[in-house]
């Protein structure tokens, strides 16, 4: 029988006889898996392997960034930690290239390995909230919206992302996790209390501050380098059910005044206030007059989760003649999902970021000039206020690193799938280069692109990098988990 030949399925959805298949190996060569090997593996998991001609394949391999879309050879959709352990053991024993897809929103496209074995975690999407203990147990296939809806039913939340509620919790958390509540409560990773994880040896382990402590330290920001997390336990905080939030938009003719006001606002902002400023071309949004669509604008994104929003936002209200003012009291879940339609799956995305210690006049001038050269009406240039709780925690409280950062700047390129890449990528790169002299030297792991080298990964962690390598050596010395922003193990002496 020829490799990859499809078979008829039985009543339970399994193939009546599993065909052979060629899968990419860790060494770059193809590994031919026999019918017997595949049948034996499928007998140990609850769901059959998916091939490209199976129902559900397209959803299983769909990723957000069309620039990095790939096609695996086979997909497993595990439903338990035992399924994951069986898959990890199978990949290890046969030397298969393995990738893990949570929400599929990774900028660099690490969730799919070309012709490899992909674990699509979308069937592990349960959320259990204990409001008395203020803890939430979250499955690795959950999206932000799953967690927000479950926790907000109790007036609780944990810091998650802010640009789309369709982002996966797993990748966001393991890479740090940045959102509206970060200034109050730290990175998403700072709010992890415990994980259940399958490591490269196929063992199901618990990691927290008392058990497997070095592994737990590494997982709080170290990405997917150390195993497959099958359960996250998050600390919860009183938030909502409403916040004061939304957008205020002005003509780019006022960009200098808005940037100066933004700097003054954020330099004295309480931790309950998170603000970002964006310069871009006006999108065809229903809240903007049609005659503004495609014209340069500057906008403030606001989220105030405290009690004194009106007083704290007073400096912003002195800026006259906004095109649109949408800042109002709103459900926290609506604030979290405000941009869900703005970054559809399949578009092409290319971003570059840097952390900043402050906003000098020179930086703001260069940022403005670079932003106004934008080539796509879907792209945006952003400055996000950090500081707060990030700057207060000890540098070794998790691997996330760069706790000296007070701001992050991002040039977020986006364009349709049928548009050529070159001019848009060139704009992002040139804009990014223009502001690099102002960087602290660090950048955000979750926004790194596929073409960034190991030095950019090192810069994410700073002084924490060597400790991460030691944890990698201890738990994955053969680098089974390499489809990520990879921390390579070092060869042992002798």
Portions of the chain given CATH number 3.40.462.20? 242-454
Signed CA dihedral, 342, 344, 350, 353: sign only = positive
**Lookup: tokens for 243:** 């916040």
At 212 the pLDDT is 98
Cβ 351 vs Cβ 308: under 8 Å: no
Q: Which CATH architecture has domain 242-454?
A: 3-Layer(aba) Sandwich (3.40)
Quote the mean pLDDT of the chain. Answer: 93
Q: Is residue 241 reached through a cis peptide bond, with omega within 30 degrees of 0 on the bond before it?
A: yes
Portions of the chain given CATH number 3.30.465.10? 127-238
Higher pLDDT, 493 or 31: 31
Upper half-sphere CA count for residue 336 (Cβ side, 13 Å): 28
Lowest mean pLDDT among 78-87, 399-408, 427-436, 475-484: 399-408
Confidence of residue 395 (pLDDT cuts 50, 70, 90): low
Q: Which CATH architecture has domain 127-238?
A: 2-Layer Sandwich (3.30)
At 401 the pLDDT is 83
DSSP 8-state assignment for residue 277: E
Cβ 407 vs Cβ 386: under 8 Å: yes
The Cα–Cα gap between 445 and 468 comes to 14
At 393 the pLDDT is 76
Q: What percent of the chain has pLDDT over 70?
A: 95
> Average pLDDT, stretch 63-81?
96
pLDDT for residue 250 is more than 80:
yes
Q: Which CATH architecture has domain 21-121?
A: 2-Layer Sandwich (3.30)
Higher pLDDT, 106 or 394: 106
Q: What DSSP string runs through 130-146? A: ETTTTEEEE-TT-BHHH
> Average pLDDT, stretch 383-411?
88
The Cα–Cα gap between 238 and 249 comes to 30
Higher pLDDT, 17 or 316: 316
pLDDT for residue 8 is more than 70:
no
The Cα–Cα gap between 435 and 440 comes to 11
> Average pLDDT, stretch 425-439?
97
Q: How do residues 85-111 score in pLDDT, each as one tens digit?
A: 999 999 999 999 999 999 999 999 899
pLDDT for residue 140 is more than 90:
yes
Lowest mean pLDDT among 238-252, 390-404, 419-433: 390-404
Contact residues for 239 (Cβ-Cβ < 8 A; gap 6+):
152, 155, 156, 157, 181, 305, 332
pLDDT for residue 12 is more than 60:
no
pTM of the model: 0.93
Q: How do residues 294-341 score in pLDDT, each as one tens digit?
A: 999 999 999 999 999 999 999 999 998 999 999 999 999 999 999 888
Query: Residue 296: how many CB atoms within 10 A of its CB?
Result: 16
Confidence of residue 9 (pLDDT cuts 50, 70, 90): very low
At 4 the pLDDT is 46
Task: Please classify residue 112 by burial: count the beta carbons closer than 10 Å to its beta carbon, then call 0-12 exposed, 13-18 middle and 19+ buried.
Answer: buried
The Cα–Cα gap between 48 and 219 comes to 30
Cβ 464 vs Cβ 492: under 8 Å: no
In a 3-state reduction of DSSP, which class is residue 39? helix
Q: How do residues 358-369 score in pLDDT, each as one tens digit?
A: 999 999 999 999
In a 3-state reduction of DSSP, which class is residue 305? coil
> Average pLDDT, stretch 23-49?
94
Pairing relation of β-strands 273-281 and 204-207? Answer: unpaired
pLDDT for residue 492 is more than 80:
no
> Average pLDDT, stretch 388-417?
89
């Amino acid at each position: 029988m020829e490799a990859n030949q499809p078979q008829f399925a039985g009543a339970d959805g399994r193939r009546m006889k599993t065909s052979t298949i060629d899968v990419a190996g860790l060494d770059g060569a193809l590994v031919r898996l026999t019918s017997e090997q595949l049948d034996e593996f499928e007998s140990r998991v609850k769901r059959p392997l998916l091939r490209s001609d199976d129902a559900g394949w397209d959803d299983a391999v769909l990723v957000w960034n069309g620039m990095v879309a790939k096609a695996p050879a086979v997909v497993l959709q595990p439903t338990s930690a035992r399924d994951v352990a069986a898959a990890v053991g199978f990949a290890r024993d046969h030397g298969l290239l393995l990738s893990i897809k949570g929400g599929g929103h990774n900028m660099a496209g690490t969730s799919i390995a070309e012709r490899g074995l992909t674990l699509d975690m979308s069937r592990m999407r349960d959320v259990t909230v204990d409001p008395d203990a203020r803890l939430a147990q979250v499955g690795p296939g959950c999206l932000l919206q799953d967690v927000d809806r479950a926790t907000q039913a109790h007036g609780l939340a944990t810091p998650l992302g802010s640009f789309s509620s369709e982002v996966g919790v797993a990748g966001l958390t393991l890479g740090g996790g940045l959102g509206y509540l970060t200034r109050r409560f730290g990175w998403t990773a700072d709010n992890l209390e415990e994980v259940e994880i399958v490591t490269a040896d196929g063992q199901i382990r618990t990691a927290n501050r008392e058990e497997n402590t070095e592994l737990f330290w590494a997982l709080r920001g170290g990405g997917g380098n150390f195993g497959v997390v099958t359960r996250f336990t998050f600390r919860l905080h009183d938030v909502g059910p409403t916040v004061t939030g939304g957008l205020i938009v002005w003509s780019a003719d006022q960009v200098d005044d808005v940037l100066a006001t933004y700097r003054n606002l954020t330099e004295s902002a309480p931790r309950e206030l998170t603000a970002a400023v964006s310069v871009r071309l006006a999108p065809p949004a229903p809240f903007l007059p049609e005659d503004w669509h495609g014209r340069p604008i500057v906008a403030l994104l606001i989220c105030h989760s405290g009690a004194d929003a009106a007083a704290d936002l007073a400096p912003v209200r002195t800026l006259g003649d906004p095109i649109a003012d949408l800042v109002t009291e709103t459900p926290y879940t609506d604030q979290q999902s405000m941009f869900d339609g703005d970054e559809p799956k399949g578009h092409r995305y290319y971003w570059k970021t840097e952390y900043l210690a402050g906003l000098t006049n020179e930086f703001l001038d260069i940022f403005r000039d670079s932003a106004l050269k934008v080539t796509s009406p879907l792209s945006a240039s952003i400055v996000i206020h950090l500081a707060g709780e990030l700057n207060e925690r000890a540098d070794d409280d998790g691997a996330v690193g760069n706790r000296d950062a007070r701001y992050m700047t991002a040039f977020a390129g986006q364009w349709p799938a049928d548009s050529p890449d070159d001019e848009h990528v060139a704009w992002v790169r040139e804009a990014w280069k223009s502001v690099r002299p102002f960087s602290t030297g660090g950048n955000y792991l979750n926004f790194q692109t596929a073409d960034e080298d190991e030095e950019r990964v090192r810069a994410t962690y700073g002084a924490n990098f060597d400790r991460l390598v030691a944890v990698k050596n201890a738990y994955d010395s053969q680098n089974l988990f390499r489809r990520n922003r990879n921390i390579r193990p070092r060869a042992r002496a002798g």
